[in-house]
Amino acid sequence: MENNDIVYGVHAVTEALMANTGNKLYIQDDLRGKNVAKMKDLAAEKKVSISWTTKKILQEMTDGAVHQGFVLRVSEFAYTDFEAMLKMATQEDNPLLLILDGLTDPHNLGSILRTADATNVTGIIIPKHRAVGVTPVVAKTSTGAVEHVPIARVTNLSQTLDKLKNAGFWIFGTDMNGTPSTKWNTAGKLALIIGNEGKGISANIKKHVDEMITIPMNGHVQSLNASVAAAILMYEVFRNRL
């Protein structure tokens, strides 16, 4: 993981321990209750040492975030190799890959991971540069989904999209003027691009898009948060495939 190589909060810590990525568990020394007992048992099962620590130190470790009394030091996040993800996706009947073009807000990435896990998304692809990677905030916001959704980090999104097209994927993007999501043909191999929070999909990436998709709206504000838009479209694909 980037930054401090930690995760925090009950759900994120539990999922990381279950995934065998934990190295050392810090528990607030005055914490009581069933969560403490469960976490102690899980740490013992996974042979992870426990350090009883003051709330002040835990706040310093997490930069003041809501940690619920649990902080886990973890191994560096293991990104999935793109070629391995592509091979895995091509073995599925109707894979959906999500491509995040320059998202910078870790809360958005965490929320997207949470929805991706709920809707059977095959994997998520992010760029190495000028975009958020997997951080402690991402892990916390995802409530553990980061341990279950493969994430590939690539140097060149344009080349990655070319490889997806060669593998038979249809490339979709999001735009104000596109096919309504209610009329979206979601059959086959899909790759969906979600653009940057402020600028949307970059011009060089738009060139690779086969079809733009629009989320119908009837309010005064004609745009949605990136993670909300992604969630609506992920569920549209999921619903059509039930």
Q: 11: domain range?
A: 6-74
d(CA 242, CA 238): 6
Q: Are residues 133 and 70 in the same domain?
A: no
pLDDT tens for residues 163-174?
999 999 999 999
Residue 1, domain member (yes or no) = no
Domain count of the chain?
2
pLDDT tens for residues 203-218?
999 999 999 999 999 8
Q: Are residues 33 and 64 in the same domain?
A: yes
Report the pLDDT value the prediction gives residue 24, as an integer from 0 to 100: 92
Domain finish residue from 19, 51, 74: 74
Q: Are residues 205 and 104 in the same domain?
A: yes
Q: Are residues 41 and 98 in the same domain?
A: no
Q: Are residues 86 and 190 in the same domain?
A: yes
Residue at 90: amino acid letter: T
Question: 180-183 contacts: CB < 8 A, separation 24 or more?
Answer: 180/213, 180/214, 180/215, 180/216, 181/213, 181/214, 181/215, 181/216, 181/232, 181/233, 181/236, 182/216, 182/236
Q: Are residues 210 and 116 in the same domain?
A: yes
Cα–Cα nearest to 210, from 239, 240, 169 = 169
Report the pLDDT value the prediction gives residue 220, as an integer from 0 to 100: 80
Q: Are residues 67 and 89 in the same domain?
A: no
Q: Are residues 189 and 132 in the same domain?
A: yes
Q: Are residues 220 and 181 in the same domain?
A: yes
Confirm if 96 and 42 have CB atoms less than 8 A apart.
Answer: no
Residue 42: CATH number of its domain: 3.30.1330.30
Residue 114, domain member (yes or no) = yes
Output the pTM of the full model: 0.81
